[in-house]
Amino acid sequence: MKIFKDKHILQKEISKTKGISFVPTMGGLHKGHISLIKQSKKSKFKTLVSIFVNPKQFNKKSDYRSYPRSTKKDLKKLKNLKIDYLYIPTFKDIYGFKPKEKVFIDKFSKKLCGRFRRGHFEGVLNVVNRFLEIIKPRYIYLGKKDYQQLYLIKKHIEKRKIKSKIIECKTIRENNGVALSTRNLNLNDNQMKIASKIYYYLYNLKKRIKKNYNLFNPNRVKKDLRDLGACKIDYLENYNIENFKKINRQNKKFNIFIAYYIKNTRLIDNI
């Protein structure tokens, strides 16, 4: 595993390869990240993982400061996975140049998380656009847990005719059903049990809604989730996962999208 902190040295190295499979992360690596990396390693190209906690996608400085970081543990995991390259850039290395492509922000960025985290997706797309320009990967591996983020990155790549191809990977969950997330490190055992109860409640709700959409009563569901231990719910909505249009009748191709808090930890999922 070769480690790079300077984009110019990295570019010189990867220019010798036939192509790159890219897995962007903010560190705090868990089984979800490891699944993405293993998928990447199956490709015919060399695997490059990045670790960069992007300050521009946090709308609160306190959230950025409290974001879990575990660089030593991450390095050990990546060495065991035998990845080819690790890129750990500085802020200046990422933001010290003007990218050729202007970021395309689809109107769906104003929905769901975009309503509650002002500037979040602009920050995500900004940094992804810069990584794509620096690395020019053949493939970029992204998880479906952050479905809205995945959709918006896909729209940017399509609109700007960027040659990198997105490989969508399934959400990896804990044994208790909770979607794996670096933020889970902020939860104690009791809070993880609450998150598990919320997941199974929504999982069973979706099965019932598929048979009878009229069973979906957002206000009743939110009350039930608060009773289970959710301190605050930013949103709870159903969307068609093919076109991201809101559903209001029987539809098999939908997910329940949620963002909620357990104490100060914000969790998102789509089920």
Catalytic residue IDs: 33
Q: Which helix (H) or strand (E) holds 80?
A: helix 71-81
Nearest of 252, 87, 206, 142 to residue 125 by alpha carbon: 142
Which position has the token pair 């990198």?
Answer: 164
Helix, coil or strand: residue 13? helix
Nearest of 142, 113, 147, 118 to residue 128 by alpha carbon: 142
Residue 17 to residue 19: CA distance in whole angstroms: 5
Residue 68 to residue 261: CA distance in whole angstroms: 16
Residue 266 to residue 66: CA distance in whole angstroms: 12
- Identify whether the C-beta of residue 35 lies closer than 8 Å to the C-beta of residue 173: no
The CB density around residue 100, as the number of other CB atoms within 10 Å, is 8
- Identify whether the C-beta of residue 259 lies closer than 8 Å to the C-beta of residue 268: yes
Q: What is the DSSP string of 128-165?
A: HHHHHHHH--SEEEEESTTHHHHHHHHHHHHHTT---E
What phi and psi, each to the nearest 5 degrees, are found at residue 198? -65, -40
Residue 258 to residue 237: CA distance in whole angstroms: 7
